Amino acid sequence: MTSVTEMETAPAGQPRAIGPERTGIAAISFQNVSKYFLANDNSRLEVLRDISFNVPDGQIVAILGASGAGKSTILNLAAGLIAPDQGQVLVMGQDTRGAMDWNCVGYMFQDDRLLPWRSAIRNVALALETGATPAAERQRRAQSALDLVELGDFADSYPHQLSGGMRSRVALARSLVGEPDILLMDEPFSRLDAQTRGSMHRELLRIHAMRRISILFVTHDVEEAVILADSIVVLSPRPGRLRQQVDVPLTQPRIGSAAAVALTTKLRASLEADINREIQ
């Protein structure tokens, strides 16, 4: 398995240097987690079964699996939006069912969810409006987040004036405006065309290199997982079980490299074999 990156704290918004202070602490830890939901006929629908894996501090972990395998459920468990029926989910060493400082976690959804009547900067600042952050500080931090995703000059633009890629950058800025230690991403680039998606991959890797945020990234795209992740969690079809966790010890940039293509082919074949077994 991939080793835990050793990190030390740094002022908000600044790159973190490698150091001893957080040695051995996983950003997110799933320990024998199972989850059920009620089906329409009130029967119990098993979504996840006995899932165990870690997201090492400062690394990107991708989750791959067929539709319905429980990928988004894993993100919602990590966000504390739902609780496991069995097992434990720890975020920075704390059980998500207890008192948590959820400011350390950002969430980027599949849809950009921008409010059409708000400018880019006001959409980003929205993430800070539920707390006690003064208006001037919200404005400053929202502008800083837009600068980080290289959209500082479009702060006053409205969603209809932005391209799909630019809207995704605004959504990314909104998820980063709270300066989280952990970023949860639910297929955030799946609606983009191939060229724009590639641009967003580079953007995310650039920001990750600057901030060393721990990222849990859900995708159905094998190539995307290989391009981005330090480690890939592969789930079986529902109920989602941990089929394997694959380390990706490849240097960046990976796209088009022979090693990345080979790993993509291997993982895609493994997923297809899983699906075929379920059908038979």
What is the predicted pLDDT for the residue at 107?
Answer: 92
Q: Measuring CA to CA, which residue among 112, 119, 216 is closest to residue 169? A: 112
Superfamily of domain 26-113+191-279: P-loop containing nucleotide triphosphate hydrolases (3.40.50.300)
Residue 280 one-letter amino acid: Q
Q: How far is residue 22's CA from residue 32's CA, in Å, rounded to a whole number?
A: 24
E-only strand ranges, 71-162: 86-91, 94-95, 105-108
Q: What are the tens digits of pLDDT across the range 73-129?
A: 999 999 999 999 999 999 988 888 876 677 789 999 888 899 999 999 999 999 888
Q: Measuring CA to CA, which residue among 252, 248, 267, 268 is closest to residue 1? A: 248
Q: Please, what is the average pLDDT of the chain?
A: 84
Q: Where are the domains of the chain?
A: 26-113+191-279
Q: What are the tens digits of pLDDT across the range 23-44?
A: 468 999 999 999 998 878 778 8
Tell whether the torsion through CA atoms of 206, 194, 114 and 62 is positive or negative.
Answer: negative
Q: Give the mean model confidence (pLDDT) for residues 143-155.
A: 93
pTM for this model (two decimals): 0.84
Instruction: Tell me if 142 sits within 8 A of 156, measured CB to CB.
Output: no
